[in-house]
Amino acid sequence: MKRTVHPVGIAAFVLTARLDSFSAAAQEPGMKRSAVTKMVRLLLARLGVKLMERFNRMAVLTPQGENYLQQCRNAFELIDETEYKLLALSAAPLRAV
């Protein structure tokens, strides 16, 4: 069965991991705490791997979470590079063949 990637859930995970907190992630524009928590919870359930532990109001990554976070950052970086190259190509004048 093919798995579907959920970029919004991944982005919520990356944001929560970067800020070490669901509450802090929810302070970002357009985010609500309940939505961040739900998106990350759905991602974790889909993956079936514990990526973070909650201690008081902090979210602490497990070793698997650290690895997943790095892979997600690499993927987002690749997307950014691809978009940059695409925009650079579209700004270049077209040549007749």
Which tens digit of pLDDT belongs to each residue from 2-34? Answer: 667 788 899 999 999 999 999 899 898 888 888
Spatial CA neighbour of 13 closest among 83, 80, 62 = 62
At residue 50, does pLDDT exceed 60?
A: yes
> Given this model, what pLDDT does residue 20 score?
92
> Given this model, what pLDDT does residue 79 score?
94
Query: What's the chain's average pLDDT?
Result: 88
Distance between CA 26 and CA 49 in Å, rounded? 23
Q: Does domain 7-90 have CATH number 3.40.50.300?
A: no
At residue 97, does pLDDT exceed 70?
A: no
- pLDDT > 90 fraction of the chain, expressed in percent and rounded: 59
Spatial CA neighbour of 12 closest among 67, 55, 52 = 52
More confident residue, 56 or 70: 70
List, in sequence order, the alpha helices (H) in 1-97: 7-19, 22-26, 33-47, 63-91
